[in-house]
Amino acid sequence: MGEAAPSRILLVEDTASLAAVYSEYLRAAGHTVDHARNAAEALARAEAAPPDGVLLDLRLPDGDGLSVLRSIRRTQPDMAVVVMTAHGSVATAVEAMRAGASDFLVKPFAAERLAVTLANALERAALRREVRDLTAGQRRGGFQGFVGGAPAMQAVYRVLETAAQSKATVFITGESGTGKELAAEAVHRLSPRRDGPFIAINCAAIPRELIESEVFGHVRGAFTGAVADRIGAAQAADGGTLFLDELCEMDLSLQGKLLRFIQTGSFQPVGSTQLRRTDVRFVCATNRDPLEEVRAGRFREDLYYRLHVVPLRLPPLRDRGEDVIAIAEAMLARSAAEEGKRFRGFAPDARAALLAHLWPGNVRELENAVRTAVVLHDGDLVEAAMLPLRAAPAANVAPRPSAADAATRIRPLADIEREAIERAVEICDGNIPKAAAHLGISPSTLYRKRAAWGAAAE
């Protein structure tokens, strides 16, 4: 705290003795100092060589420090400007803040106070510049492992970058395979906690009876099989990021414990009466609609509001236009290298097929399709016939039938259900529990239905 990168500071102070003292403070904090004795000099210097920050006395012989502040603000909206006021002139300080001062110091002040105030102002100014550059900014063709420059993704990249700086919980939603985990990792990597641990807990993959211990740890003898103390994810993520993946699958009793942990920063390992404290930054993800889960009573509303601080929605791949091609090409280069194949691109018919497909499994489905083509085929260009894509669009996004052909185009619900299930199993590489989780049904239902079809097919 109070440590700043060396900056060039313009000191505007008419009293020579004070100017000498403040210059000394600033140099001690590692800054270089440029000194102006009055308003005219201040403006001339600020224009000739814009400093990183200004330390500005509000009472100047040739005018008002406020007018200096205002004219600097007109050309330098993001510059750090800290004003100095005399003791007792709170109204002036408030006016200066309204006019765009970054902060104010009441005279007299100590060196440490100046260093901290200025460091914070410089840091905020740098952040603001960064955000503005991004907002106005260059469109990016990719970011932190994400390939693609679609407009919908620009917003994602901006949120990732700005949210990462703070400790605020990022709540990621998006269909299966849209890159939620990739986004969670990016938040960690871009955050000041990047050198700390990144711990992911997949609430859908861990059996209910084990999840509390996975999150909070347990003590020896807490339950059968607990032969030794074991730390949980909350402890392991101390100083880093705790990623709660598939958050909506967490059961209600654990949701209560999680809420307490978030509110107090402390928790009890299973079987322990002792409170432990950790410092973690939360990132959550779900492919469900969290508010729908709240309405259905499956997710605590208070927990939802605690966690839903910075929402980040990953758009489905079908809404990302040409990104499909860019991602496919990146995957192709990687898969071809891994498999020792010489593929170097997609034939026109394959590009058309990639763009036409609706990608219910999103980027993961695309990844798998490209890898399958590379593994099973050889050549220079991947052709449409090599891609394992279904000709028919997914049932839920099929074009609306006209009344005339409705009879031939509307399919029995049972067929659609079966197709949706088989597709889910395929996307999940045959992993039935995962497919069931994505479909929102229990694995046993899925096993039962598939067994029934198997029997019918005999």
Ligand X SMILES: Nc1ncnc2c1ncn2[C@@H]1O[C@H](COP(=O)(O)OP(=O)(O)OP(=O)(O)O)[C@@H](O)[C@H]1O
Binding footprint of Mg ion on the chain (CB under 5 A): 180-181
- CA pair distance 192, 126, nearest whole angstrom: 15
Nearer to Mg ion, 327 or 336 (CB): 327
- CA pair distance 403, 43, nearest whole angstrom: 74
CB of residue 27 vs Mg ion: minimum separation in angstroms? 51
Phi, psi (degrees; rounded to nearest 5) at 366: -65, -45
- Which partner from the list ligand X, Mg ion, none does 261 bind, CB cut-off 5 to 8 Å by kind? none
- CA pair distance 345, 332, nearest whole angstrom: 7
- Which partner from the list Mg ion, ligand X, none does 131 bind, CB cut-off 5 to 8 Å by kind? none
Nearer to ligand X, 31 or 438 (CB): 438
Q: What are the residues binding ligand X (CB under 6 A)? A: 146-148, 174, 176-182, 287, 327, 363-364, 367
Q: What is the DSSP string of 329-394?
A: HHHHHHHHHHHT----EE-HHHHHHHHH---TTHHHHHHHHHHHHHHH--SSEE-GGGS---SSPP
Let me know the angle formed at the C-alpha of 130 by 128 and 135, rounded to the nearest 5 degrees: 95
- Which partner from the list Mg ion, ligand X, none does 169 bind, CB cut-off 5 to 8 Å by kind? none
In this chain, which residue has its C-beta nearest to ligand X? 179
CB of residue 304 vs ligand X: minimum separation in angstroms? 19
In this chain, which residue has its C-beta nearest to Mg ion? 181
Nearer to Mg ion, 79 or 248 (CB): 248
CB of residue 175 vs ligand X: minimum separation in angstroms? 7
CB of residue 343 vs ligand X: minimum separation in angstroms? 18
- Which partner from the list ligand X, Mg ion, none does 327 bind, CB cut-off 5 to 8 Å by kind? ligand X
- CA pair distance 164, 180, nearest whole angstrom: 15
Could you tell me the sign of the dihedral formed by the alpha carbons of 309, 314, 319, 321, in that order? positive
CB of residue 138 vs ligand X: minimum separation in angstroms? 18
Nearer to ligand X, 22 or 146 (CB): 146
Nearer to ligand X, 364 or 377 (CB): 364
Nearest to 179 by CA among 210, 147, 223, 209: 147
- CA pair distance 281, 308, nearest whole angstrom: 13
Other beta carbons within 10 Å of 304: 19
- Which partner from the list Mg ion, ligand X, none does 255 bind, CB cut-off 5 to 8 Å by kind? none
Nearer to Mg ion, 180 or 351 (CB): 180
CB of residue 363 vs Mg ion: minimum separation in angstroms? 11
CB of residue 245 vs Mg ion: minimum separation in angstroms? 5
Region of residue 63 (left: phi > 0; alpha: psi -120 to 50; beta: else): left
- Which partner from the list ligand X, Mg ion, none does 360 bind, CB cut-off 5 to 8 Å by kind? none
- Which partner from the list ligand X, Mg ion, none does 150 bind, CB cut-off 5 to 8 Å by kind? none
Task: Give, in order, the Cα–Cα distances in Å from 296 to each of 93, 289, 292.
Answer: 51, 11, 6
Nearer to ligand X, 57 or 367 (CB): 367
The tokens for 396 are: 């839920």
